[in-house]
Amino acid sequence: MKCPYCGNPDTRVVDSRPVDDNSSIRRRRVCDECGRRFTSYERVEMVPLVVIKKDRTREIFDRSKIEAGVLRACHKRPISAQQVHDLVDNVETEIYNRGEREVSSTEIGELVMDRLKDLDPVAYVRFASVYREFKDAATFMDELKKLLE
């Protein structure tokens, strides 16, 4: 790796250790030319995933949007931040494991609802009411009946 101080292309790794979540590696390096030390990080580069929205537009997958929706659905429910984080991790992992470059927002919504249904029925109905765009109380009641069955 090129030294950020003198530009020398020869540097040595003097220490390597995983970062907190084991998703990347922190490396301490020393330049063979100027002797200065610096830190670099190595992580797996993911192929960008594109989400096809309901209006057929496309945008880059953004995990924080799923997390925000789940947090809104779980507001004032007995669900920990760790449970929300795990749910979003689970959905994200399933999406990436498919190995496809594009995924529809509908598929993402269904994955989230499947997991919320098991986690908390109230959060599930809250999420479904926004996601499925309930138009009236009858639509809401139909979803509740499905949940109770």
Long-range Cβ contacts of 93-102 (<8 Å, 24+ apart): 95/49, 95/61, 96/46, 96/49, 100/49, 101/47, 101/48, 101/49, 101/50, 102/49, 102/50, 102/51, 102/52, 102/58
**Is 34 in contact with 3 (CB distance < 8 Å)?**
yes
Q: Is the per-residue pLDDT at 54 higher than 80? A: yes
Q: Is the per-residue pLDDT at 65 higher than 80? A: yes
- In angstroms and rounded to an integer, the radius of gyration of the C-alpha atoms of the chain is 22
pLDDT band at 149 (very low <50, low <70, confident <90, very high): confident
pLDDT at 45: 73
pTM over 0.75: no
Instruction: Give per-residue pLDDT as tens, 88-97.
Output: 999 998 998 8
Assigned token pair, 92: 């994200």
What one-character DSSP code corresponds to residue 7? Answer: -
Cα(133)–Cα(131) distance, rounded to whole angstroms? 5
Assigned token pair, 99: 């190995």
131 or 83: which leads in pLDDT:
83
pLDDT at 35: 96
Instruction: Give per-residue pLDDT as tens, 66-120.
Output: 999 999 999 999 999 999 999 999 999 899 888 899 999 999 999 999 999 999 9
Instruction: Give per-residue pLDDT as tens, 9-43.
Output: 999 999 999 987 787 899 999 999 999 999 999 98
pLDDT band at 145 (very low <50, low <70, confident <90, very high): confident
Assigned token pair, 28: 């301490």
**Residues sharing a CB contact under 8 Å with residue 121, sequence separation 6 or more, in sequence order:** 147
